[in-house]
Chain A
Amino acid sequence: MEDQGWWGRFRRSESFAGLALVSPTALYALLLLAAPLATILLYSFLTDGDTQTRIVWDFTLDNYIATLTEPLYRAVMIRSLSVSILVTAVTVILAFPVAYYVSFHVAPQRKSLWLFLITIPFWTSYLIRVFLWKVILGYNGVINSGLTTLGIIDEPLTFILYNVNAIVITLAHAYAPFAILPIFVALEKIDRSLLEAGQDLGESKAMTFLRVTLPLAMPGVVAAVLIVLIPTVGDYVTPQIIGGGKIPMVANLIQSRMLDLDNRPLGSALAVVAMLVVTVVALAFVALNARFLKVKK
């Protein structure tokens, strides 16, 4: 058919231009991201070798069985996930009012300044920020020494010390802008007359917020949750510095299995399982909020 031939030509030309243009970048991501991730996936099904062979090409599910049954791994996995969920909840709940304030109560010409102020700490050295939290929260840290100097406490507070609480505070601080920005963007998109309509139809300000603003802001909240949840599961620095290596999370475990013990298949399986678990949690969260996300179209 004449049309068919033309069709092919058209598709080729339009699609081709885009593909050709994106190809250097795509190729880079394919070689340095997709291929390594595939390698990890492959390794996770292989058998550990000695220091010479390292990997033995023997397909097995042992690594997964170990990952899922060994108490230590399960404990770390559960701790990572709960810390990450806790951090996400704290971060998003603390961030929402800030995003709301900037979107609804800051004059338009000053919004960029606020966003800039919020993002700056995010771009400064993560390592140094994490270390500073250790300094702030430590036994002789800023808070304890400050409170002691002021005579408020006699003994240093221990509940903020080198424990899960300290990890949560540090991570919530690190990911704050990640949570604020998507929520802010969603709030900005809300047509302000919808809120007036809500009040015009007899709802109080609080109920208007619950029935109009919050549902419309949910896409932003979901994005914020995902963008905090997924990376925090794999955080390496914070447990290392704040927890002093005594409260390992899954990233530390992956590192120690892969490098310290040189068991690459087991480390790979841990990484794959960690990613699968967080993906499942993330998808479940998205599914729960699906009705809010559909509205967008």
Chain B
Amino acid sequence: MTLAPNPLAAPAATLAATPRPTMIEFRDVHKYYGDYHALRGITATIRAGEFFSLLGPSGCGKTTLLRTIAGFEGISSGAVLIDGKDMQGVPANVRPTNMVFQSYAIFPHLTVAQNVGFGLRREGGTAAEKARRVDEALEMVGLKGYGARAAHALSGGQRQRVALARALILKPKVLLLDEPLSALDKKMREQMQVELIRLQRQVGITFILVTHDQEEALVMSDRIAVMFEGQIAQLADPEMLYRRPATRQVADFIGVMNFLPATVTSEAAGRIAIDVQGLGPCEIDAGQAPGALTGGAAEVGFRPETLTILYDGQTATDRETPGTIEEVVYYGDMTYYDVKLDGVDRPVRISMRNVFGRPVLDIRTRTRVAWSPGALVLFR
């Protein structure tokens, strides 16, 4: 459960400083399957050269949205534009996109080289030229010398690489990846995450990844669209998404978030005064409260790592609140404490890095918890 934003991904500031041209544009896209409203008004843009993720639980419409870009799904209303061109009526086989399928869809009756070179059939050029391009593509994904192998003899990770090479050899404007890592084991998945980031940097093509794994999305993406029930709940870079989730649902879906009841007492000049159960009254910035506020009852959320348990002799830099440890979960590098703050009926979760010389505390220990109003997010 390490949720630090990805150091490899370009920081949000860089993107903002050098705005890239738009590659994909969704204009109020709706999609029905019979009675079922699968996409409910998607409006968003994906920039050229970015690593973009569609994140959400199963059935949220993320794969459907990806397939509307590929052209495998028609849309009921709205428009999908790729590189400024409306894709209405443009079939999948002529769109400037290529796809890496969840099952990889490696043609079982062809060799690795025939698979990778499949899309070159319709292009001009000599056989030698095509063979050279296939070799290059295989080398790029680390499968040099595998060309003559039978496709069905490959491991999961190798199939994934063949699928990547096969899609990238056609130099698409957009590469679509439908849960490409879900079939791999944990270790292989983490390795492929890093390789995909490297590959995307190398080729500079827009990558759009569909995933239900929030950690994977945070690690790999420049920007993420979180989807629930056919709608985009929030579109932001990983850090923003993690620190300032737009809705409670997003906050709950990404990482762990504690929630405490709160009351808005006053609101003026970009500052909001709130009274949080267990934490007491404090003031937060308007930026910490997504959505319109009308005052009255609300809820604040905060991440487990924004709280710190104070050991004897330590003092809080900002605010502190007393509580009792109810549960201790030891993870090796981390320890999670469930602490019942005084005056709160439900415990909050706090994560502490295990440092040499600092003991893991016991259940029922009375303790003080340090926190800061700046780490709170206010939800209506």
Query: Which A positions have Cβ atoms within 8 angstroms of B?
Result: 2-3, 6-7, 10-11, 13
Contacts and interface: CB of A to CB of B under 8 A. Distances in A.
Interface residues of B, number: 5
Contacts of B76: 3, 6, 10
Interface of B: 32, 34, 74, 76-77
Contacts of B74: 10, 13
9 contacts: A2-B77, A3-B32, A6-B32, A6-B76, A10-B32, A10-B34, A10-B76, A11-B34, A13-B74
Contacts of A2: 77
Given A10-B74, A10-B76, A13-B74, 10 more contacts: A2-B77, A3-B32, A3-B76, A6-B32, A6-B76, A6-B77, A7-B32, A10-B32, A10-B34, A11-B34
A2 B30 CA distance: 12
A11 B74 CA distance: 12
Contacts of A3: 32, 76
Nearest to A6: B76
Contacts of B77: 2, 6
Query: Which 8 pairs across A and B sit closest by C-beta, in order of nearness?
Result: A6-B76, A6-B77, A10-B32, A10-B76, A7-B32, A2-B77, A6-B32, A3-B32
A11 B77 CA distance: 15
A3 B76 CA distance: 8
A231 B74 CA distance: 46
A4 to B, nearest CB: 11
A3 B34 CA distance: 11
Nearest to B33: A10
A75 to B, nearest CB: 54
Nearest to B75: A6
Contacts of B32: 3, 6-7, 10
A287 to B, nearest CB: 32
A10 B30 CA distance: 13
Contacts of B34: 10-11
A11 B32 CA distance: 10
A3 B74 CA distance: 15
Nearest to B76: A6
A7 B77 CA distance: 11
Nearest to B35: A7
A2 B32 CA distance: 12
A7 B37 CA distance: 11
B29 to A, nearest CB: 13
B36 to A, nearest CB: 11
Nearest to A7: B32
A2 B77 CA distance: 9
Contacts of A10: 32, 34, 74, 76
